[in-house]
Amino acid sequence: MEVEEVSILSNLAKHTFRQTYAAYNREENLEEYIRRQFNVDNMLKEISTPGVVCYFVCVEHHAVGYCMLNERGKCPLSEIGDAIEIKRIYIDEHFKGYGAGSLLLETCKRYTLNRTYNCHWLCVWENNANAIAFYKRRGFTICGHTTFQLGGDVQKDYVMIRKLGV
């Protein structure tokens, strides 16, 4: 990924994370996480890691969403087996409902099936009802939970899986 694309990814990640979680979290926790996680240097390091891939979805040459897969992500549930983590999938709220999320999930599925994996896993905040419903409609099931640290706040995430090619 070129430096310009990393900058686009960083800005999109900050923007969509704020859209998704600002109304439900303390500003200082949210901003601390965004500053630490989504700065250009950290994003470049993250996407340069072997086994990590990132895809954008664009409308009129403008990135409106992205997903990130991690082949080496450690699932908090050992019984998952041979799976790829969907580390992130975010869509600008103005473009939700037009198929961008489905397109990214289909891209994740094609990437995964072209390798030796048969399952996706991801974590989703227990209070993100829209995302949970979206994933369930696309074949994911809740199979456990884990924690997520957002600044000083420890939150509960569901672990969801989707079996592929069955």
Position 166 scores a pLDDT of: 56
Nearest to 13 by CA among 96, 60, 33, 106: 33
pLDDT of residue 73: 86
Segment among 71-75, 91-95, 106-110 with least mean pLDDT: 71-75
Structural domains of the chain sorted by starting position, each given as residue range(s) with its CATH number in brackets:
3-163 (3.40.630.30)
At residue 82, the pLDDT reads 82
Round the average pLDDT of the chain to a whole number and report it.
93
The Cα 39–Cα 21 span in angstroms is 18
Q: Which two tokens stand for residue 151?
A: 């600044």
Q: What pLDDT score does 162 carry?
A: 94
Helix (H) or strand (E) holding 87: strand 84-91
pLDDT of residue 116: 84
User: Position of tokens 């895809």?
Assistant: 55
Q: Cα-atom radius of gyration of the chain, to the nearest Å?
A: 15
pLDDT tens digits for 7-64? 999 999 999 999 999 999 999 999 999 999 999 999 999 999 999 999 999 999 999 9
